[in-house]
Amino acid sequence: MSCVPALDCWFLTGPTAAGKTRVGIELAQRINAEIVSMDSMALYRGMHIGTDKPTPEQRRAVEHHVIDLIEPHEQYSLAQYVDAAHRVIEQIRSGGREVLFVGGTPLYLKGLLRGIFQGPPADWEFRHRLREQAREHDPQWLQRRLAEVDPASAERLHANDVRRLIRALEVYEKMGRPISELQRQFETGHPAEDCRVFVLNWPHRDLHARIDRRVDEMFQAGLVDEVRGLLARPQPLSRTARQAVGYREVIDHVRGECSLPDTIAAVKTHTRQLAKRQRTWFRGLSECRFIPAFGMEAEEIARRIAETKPS
């Protein structure tokens, strides 16, 4: 039902544009580690500029894993990521090295720290039957039905969230227990001092300035041409790839729906909003320690982190 939490690994995370890649390479060299990407967009081949992947030179300096695994038209679940990460952990440790996760996808971080609830496999016949029944009733019908067996989930989910409502009913149907009860164990955190999870922390104004510079650099590096190439592929981008910040705005521009200056401004705004959501996630994880990054070089930040040990 879950993967064993990877609490004995090192983690370096933070909002987008916080400088994780440079600090991560410095830290990996100090602690004799290989890096495992913790970035959901770095999984996609061909999506390089907008995801700000480590450069070939950086990958030569330190071995990187879980990058360029899938094509842009493919989907990749949290469970697949956690499974892949645990296989890589074993591989790295068999070579006598430490494991350092670097990236800013909070859901991946939480899955690695606390495990995940995977539940029973999909029963497509059951799901189809519920969808058909839901069409015959008012919009709150699924929610009311779920409230009879899992009040906590029914209260948490919106009546229009049909997919999750059906999944909650499916879990109860197959396992005889509410999904809210089964998931609860994965909400229990661990004390920060028992973990090595470090969040690069920047003042808002300075982070926003870094975001603006990065977005300008991405467009100068050819982000628009990269997106044109992706759209020209025979298979369409997956929903996840298509909705990635930076890509969805440029797709609109390429289709003639937005001017280039407005596109650049939109990417900056949406990236700042993404950073705010990431910060909220990290504050909600008890495992995280926040490391001030303003005014320090990557080498100094890495040194401070390397000298911090769990109790």
Which tens digit of pLDDT belongs to each residue from 150-163?
Answer: 999 999 888 888 88
Q: In what order do the strands lie in the sheet with 33-37?
A: 64-65, 33-37, 98-102, 10-13, 197-201, 288-292
Distances (CA, A) of 295 to 104, 190, 303: 21, 30, 15
What is the mean predicted confidence (pLDDT) over 51-71? Answer: 96
Handedness of CA 250, 254, 256, 261 (dihedral sign): positive
For 296, phi then psi, to 5°, come to -125, 145
What is the mean predicted confidence (pLDDT) over 142-146? Answer: 95
What is the tens place of the pLDDT at every residue in 24-53?
999 999 999 999 999 999 999 999 999 999
Provide the β-strand partners of residue 197.
11, 288
Domains of the chain: 10-117+187-306 (3.40.50.300), 124-186 (1.10.20.140)
Q: For residue 195, name the pLDDT band (cuts at 50, 70, 90).
A: very high
Instruction: Give the pLDDT confidence score for residue 1 in this predicted structure.
Output: 41
Q: Residue 296 pLDDT more than 70?
A: yes
Q: What is the mean pLDDT of the chain?
A: 93
Structure tokens given for 189: 């955190």
Within the chain, where are the H helices?
A: 20-31, 56-61, 78-94, 106-114, 124-135, 141-149, 151-156, 162-175, 179-183, 204-220, 223-231, 239-242, 247-254, 260-283, 298-306
Q: Residue 2 pLDDT more than 70?
A: no
Residue 195 DSSP label: S
Q: For residue 4, name the pLDDT band (cuts at 50, 70, 90).
A: low
Residue 54 DSSP label: P
What predicted TM-score, i.e. pTM, was given to this entire model?
Answer: 0.83
Q: Residue 18 pLDDT more than 70?
A: yes
For the chain, give the percent of residues with pLDDT over 70: 97
Instruction: Give the pLDDT confidence score for residue 185 in this predicted structure.
Output: 63
Lowest pLDDT segment from 108-117, 197-206, 273-282: 108-117
Q: For residue 5, name the pLDDT band (cuts at 50, 70, 90).
A: low
Q: For residue 308, name the pLDDT band (cuts at 50, 70, 90).
A: confident
What is the mean predicted confidence (pLDDT) over 218-233? Answer: 97
Q: How far apart are CA 292 and CA 304, in angstroms?
A: 10
Compute how many other C-beta atoms are within 10 angstroms of the C-beta atom of residue 79: 15
Q: Residue 301 pLDDT more than 50?
A: yes
Q: Residue 181 pLDDT more than 90?
A: no
